[in-house]
Amino acid sequence: MSAARDRAGRGGGLLATDFYQLTMLHAYEYAGMGDRATFEFFFRRPQPTRGFLLAAGLGTLAREIETAGFTPEEIAWLRETGRFPDEMIDRLAEWRFTGDLDAVAEGTLIFGDEPILRVEAPIAEAQLIETLVINHLHFQTLIASKAARMVLTAPDAQLIDFGLRRAHGMEAGVRAARAAYLAGFAGTATTSAGLAFAIPLYGTMAHSFIQAHDSEEQAFLDFALARPADTTLLIDTYDTERAAAKVVTLAETLRARGIAVRGVRIDSGDLAAHARAVRAILDEGGLDDVRIVASGGIDEWTLRDLVRSGAPIDSYGIGTSLTTSQDRPAIDCGYKLVAYAGTPRRKLSEGKVLWPGAKQLFRHHGGDGTIDHDVLALADEALDGEPLLRPAMREGRCLDLPTLEEARATARENLARLPDRLKDLDTPGDYDVRISSGLRALADSMAKEGR
């Protein structure tokens, strides 16, 4: 049981689900309700300070759904709880997802109230994957969108994810690395993201490495000799400018041994002022090819200020603000039933009225290539524009999904098509999402029937 407990403690497996998914499953079985249902996942609008979102998470979600199920230990534990009938537990032991998924490709620009995933499956199956769906799509889209704001703010700089330590769990750190890379970051410091997703890895030294040595010079020298191809030196442990001068002196010694210093990192203080002073010291010392890396509390606003000030920073390490989406750590979103047994459905709770029926999104571009508007339509309407929801899974099997590199290319193309008015970090403009006549007619007819 201890392996099962360990897996559960890490949130692995289908048991990481809201308990009501199981109580509902029980009630559906009791009531003999096994018809196919359609659910859609969407972010709600408005999203203040978020002019756009970048879809992410489908890649990890689809693989997770494909293999989702319960281990014998998990089944035994569920039985022990005494909260479900034995026949239901027996069926759970054999549970596999058999439904269909249609989704917006990872890296696509999306907006509030747009369905980005459609699930069609027997109702209890579509219900049982709800928590997994929301968790994957919400978090990775959140982080990819945050990362994209940074990428657009500093398009000429190299951005590196430094945020594993303050991410909400180790899994969050690895998934954030994936989402940031998808959005255009150059790489990550999270080692396991290299193994899991083949993301380029970056990393040099911490202050403790400098402090553990009797002198800063010795620490720099030890590191350079140990890792001659990898020499980025952290220069703010004691006095940033003095350390830059030490780097100039050291570089001569190292040059004689065929080693070139690659970069210096500044992690505290006035980053722009230090970068300028350090750049001057390095250039004067003939080290104009040594790159300056800045880190420490950077978000898209400090990035904007640093870029505007012309600070000579080549690369940024970005941590907490990225991996926690610090200014906005959650975005309102929902996974809603839109049809059951062939009949469109919707929820009417106050402030949360939704469009009924299985839907499709059609995107239209303007003459300059930027995105112009979307049309939210019924899935069976044949309209102009690029349909964004595409088959991702059929009968429980993943179709040929884009690789992470392909998703990254999609993100690059999409971000290049984003109108400037949506890029503002604080008060972005609005994007036009229109409702098709077919969808409006369905909603009107349901309203007349009081549904």
Q: Which residues in 7-46 contact its own copies (CB under 8 A)? A: 7-13, 15-24, 26-31, 33, 37, 39
| Near its own copies by CB under 8 A: residue from 68, 89, 129, 167 | 167
| Near its own copies by CB under 8 A: residue from 174, 313, 378, 379 | 174
Of 158 and 370, nearer to its own copies (C-beta) is: 158
The sign of the dihedral angle between the CA atoms of 189, 195, 196, 197 is: positive
CA distance 41 to 341: 19
User: What are the structure tokens assigned to 401, written together?
Assistant: 């999904």
Q: Least distance in Å: CB of 189 to its own copies?
A: 5
Is 448 near its own copies (CB under 8 A)?
A: no
Strands 333-340 and 36-43: antiparallel
Burial class (CB within 10 angstroms; exposed 0-12, middle 13-18, buried 19+) of 79: middle
Q: Least distance in Å: CB of 206 to its own copies?
A: 6
| Near its own copies by CB under 8 A: residue from 135, 158, 253, 370 | 135
| Near its own copies by CB under 8 A: residue from 309, 320, 383, 417 | 320
Cβ atoms within 10 Å, residue 389: 22
CA distance 237 to 246: 13
| Near its own copies by CB under 8 A: residue from 237, 302, 414, 436 | 237
Q: Collect all residues with Cβ–Cβ distance below 8 Å to 256 and sequence separation of at least 6.
A: none
Is 181 near its own copies (CB under 8 A)?
A: no
| Near its own copies by CB under 8 A: residue from 46, 48, 269, 366 | 269
Of 296 and 422, nearer to its own copies (C-beta) is: 296
Of 50 and 363, nearer to its own copies (C-beta) is: 50
Is 193 near its own copies (CB under 8 A)?
A: yes
Is 442 near its own copies (CB under 8 A)?
A: no
CA distance 376 to 387: 10
| Near its own copies by CB under 8 A: residue from 44, 206, 242, 403 | 206
Is 130 near its own copies (CB under 8 A)?
A: yes
| Near its own copies by CB under 8 A: residue from 139, 185, 355, 431 | 139
The answer to whether 364 and 375 have CB atoms below 8 angstroms apart is: yes
Q: Which of residues 141-160 bind its own copies (CB under 8 A)?
A: 142
| Near its own copies by CB under 8 A: residue from 77, 283, 433, 442 | 77
Burial class (CB within 10 angstroms; exposed 0-12, middle 13-18, buried 19+) of 290: buried
Q: Least distance in Å: CB of 111 to its own copies?
A: 19
CA distance 276 to 306: 11
Is 91 near its own copies (CB under 8 A)?
A: no
Burial class (CB within 10 angstroms; exposed 0-12, middle 13-18, buried 19+) of 81: exposed
